[in-house]
Amino acid sequence: MHKETIAIHAGNHTDEGSHAVIQPIVMSTTFVRDDDGSTPKGFIYGRADNPNRAQLEKVICALEGGADAAAFSSGNAAGMTIFQSLKPGTHIIAPDDMYHGLNSQLKAMFNGILEFDFVDLTDASKLESYIKPNTGLLWIETPSNPQLKISDIKRLTRIAHENNIKVVCDNTFASPICQLPLSLGADIVMYSATKYFGGHSDITGGALVTAKNDGWWQNIRNIQQLGGAVPAPMDCYFLVRSIKTLPYRMRGHVHNAHLLAEFLEQHPKVENVMYPGLPSHPQYELAKEQMLAFGGMLSFNVKGGTENAIKVIQSVRLFTRATSLGGVESLIEHRAAVEPPDTKTPWNLLRVSVGLEHIDDLIADISQALDEI
């Protein structure tokens, strides 16, 4: 079936008691056993599992075409679970343009437990040179944040697998509508559900989807249930609700982002635009090959340095000055200012999460803001 259909139907159970069409929210933290002590529906205790969480995991898994999925209380909790599942001493190869919250997590929480190198993964031919005898995980993030760099999932995965290295791909920027890393060879896909899955800037959540239900995955499931970084039933309910419109929302995000990128690219006060759907993107051909659509995120460098970049974000009226992404409202951010001091992000870079407002209104707003320079 197609994604539009899966997003609406996968995992939904009509309520047997009330015949409600939409699966109700189950707040109960514990579940009744039968006389013989069995648990007929498989639910025992709310930390371990819950009907709304099970539904959320089913629909995410189905959209991704995976073997199983696990939901978490945030994207960072999902990422942390991967790192916790590795044997101490394992070496991780991660991108230099990695989501800064997970980069910081590795440095702050796994220093001395795991080894990690942050390298440029846009040139897959260099991967071999980063591999050590104890390398056990390759972390891919594409398109990357905030520079929209593209890494070749298929090629990187092939090299990693030849060297017995597992591959996890942070697919938050793309969503399963724009890219399916499992179909390109990745072992596990990671999501911040706070972004496009939630889509309305009002839920924090995360997810992992696996290609294989193997021993590694069972260890991950164990960490989810014993560690307890799980989403509440209400959050799962609202995520399921939001995911029903994900394919249509993504279409709007992609449409608007593409037109905004084209507008910015020809603007005399813009130095360059980073959007994988522009032929000027250095990895446009690769993006066309591995992505199903180019996504709703873009960054651009303003001519004249930091001062002008700040002037632009001070002058926008419709765009909201805030971090995060994937909501229906457009957000703009002076990215270097929110990243750690050693950031490689250029100081004249503005990152935009293109929302679902009318494109003419978005262009008119950014245009008047650029006129202020």
Ligand X SMILES: *Cc1c(COP(=O)(O)O)cnc(C)c1O
Show which residues are catalytic: 47, 99, 170, 195
Beta-carbon contacts of residue 238 (< 8 Å; ≥ 6 apart): 198, 202, 203
The reply to whether omega before 24 is within 30° of 0 (cis) is no
Q: Quick one: 172 or 224, whose CB is closer to ligand X? A: 172
Beta-carbon contacts of residue 220 (< 8 Å; ≥ 6 apart): 70, 81, 82, 85, 188, 208, 210
* 170, containing H or E segment: strand 166-170
Q: Quick one: 84 or 204, whose CB is closer to ligand X? A: 204
Q: Quick one: 350 or 369, whose CB is closer to ligand X? A: 350
Residue 337 CB, shortest distance to ligand X, in Å, is 17
Q: Quick one: 107 or 132, whose CB is closer to ligand X? A: 107
Q: Which amino acid is at 12?
A: N
From CA 265, how far away is CA 339, in angstroms rounded? 25
From CA 156, how far away is CA 290, in angstroms rounded? 12
Q: Quick one: 82 or 356, whose CB is closer to ligand X? A: 82
Residue 310 CB, shortest distance to ligand X, in Å, is 23
Residue 173 CB, shortest distance to ligand X, in Å, is 6
45 forms bridges with which residues in the sheet?
30
Residue 45 CB, shortest distance to ligand X, in Å, is 25
Sign of CA dihedral 131, 135, 141, 142: positive
Residue 78 CB, shortest distance to ligand X, in Å, is 8
The region that residue 303 occupies, defined by phi over 0 for left and psi between -120 and 50 for alpha, beta otherwise, is beta
Pick the closest to residue 270 from 279, 261, 283 (CA basis). 261
From CA 332, how far away is CA 353, in angstroms rounded? 6
Contact set with ligand X (CB under 6 A):
74-76, 99, 101-102, 141, 145, 170, 172-173, 192, 194-195, 204, 206
Residue nearest to ligand X (CB): 75
